Amino acid sequence: MTDSNVLNAEIRDDVGKGASRRLRHQGKIPAVIYGGKKDPATLTLEHEPLRHAADSEAFYSSILEIKVADGRKQKVVVRDVQHHPYKAQIMHLDFLRVSAQEILRMSVPIHYTGEELSEAGKASGLVIQHLVTEVEIAALPANLPEYLDVDLSELEIGDVVMLSDIKLPEGVEIAALSGDEPDDTMIANTSHIKESQGTGAAAAEEAAEAELEAMTEVDVEDVDEETPAEDEPEADKE
């Protein structure tokens, strides 16, 4: 495990919104670690080292190690991060304990490569759309990939790419494709653009700007910082 995957933390007993506010004023982040058939534990981490670590995409899809001053260690994954609505500040984190024998379900990013080499990528008036940028997988911690790679170098005009087309590492399953009713979602396709939209590059930039604008129009609600993410199974929250 690399140094960037090791997070130094302190156990804290002072909880509540007032205590969390005081910690943030001291340049620290309140956090909760839960799951693994143990009681939740409250932690404190230094803000700046964690903020820099969180700038990396791999931070959200890697196995991390929480290390406290008395030498105790716990492997975890990030389950939820709460950011300040406009400051470059992390407000709170939820970590989920990891067991080497238990399968993890978590989202990992999709990296699209090779599209500029494809027939579709070279065609005039055509845009390759990335419809999905991350996907939920199931794997043991030892098999957990930081991302999934989708090679578009063979993409031709009119082609589509489905979830089932992703080449998976050994021991990794896509959650949507397992079970009794698999959902083989389209993740990329080729799309003709109108003459008024200009070049493919311009259209792609326009689409990206529209997507970014839609993502930023989100209402920020006040949340209880000591409560783990609500979408977790009850067994993980104990």
- Residues 39-50 have pLDDT tens digits of 999 999 999 999
CA atoms within 13 A on the CB side of 130: 20
Most distant pair of Cα atoms in the chain: their distance: 65
Q: Give how far the C-alpha of residue 95 lies from the chain's centroid of Cα atoms, to the nearest Å.
A: 13
Better-predicted residue by pLDDT, 222 or 62:
62
**235 pLDDT tier (thresholds 50, 70, 90):** very low
Q: Mean per-residue pLDDT for 147-152?
A: 97
Q: Mean per-residue pLDDT for 156-168?
A: 96
Q: Is the pLDDT of residue 238 over 50?
A: no
Q: For residues 107 and 14, what is the distance between their CA atoms, to the nearest angstrom?
A: 32
Q: Set out the domains of the chain in order of their start, with CATH numbers.
A: 3-99 (2.40.240.10), 104-216 (2.170.120.20)
Q: Mean per-residue pLDDT for 205-219?
A: 55
**Which pLDDT belongs to residue 209?**
62
Q: For residues 37 and 164, what is the distance between their CA atoms, to the nearest angstrom?
A: 34
Closest by Cα among 79, 83, 93 to 9: 93
107-140 pLDDT, tens digit per residue, is 999 999 999 999 999 998 899 999 999 999 999 9
Give the global pTM.
0.74
Q: Is the pLDDT of residue 234 over 80?
A: no
**Which pLDDT belongs to residue 215?**
52
Q: Percent of the chain beyond pLDDT 70?
A: 79
Quote the strand ranges of 54-213, DSSP E.
64-68, 73-83, 90-97, 104-113, 126-130, 134-139, 148-151, 160-162, 172-174, 186-192
83-106 pLDDT, tens digit per residue, is 999 999 999 999 999 999 999 999
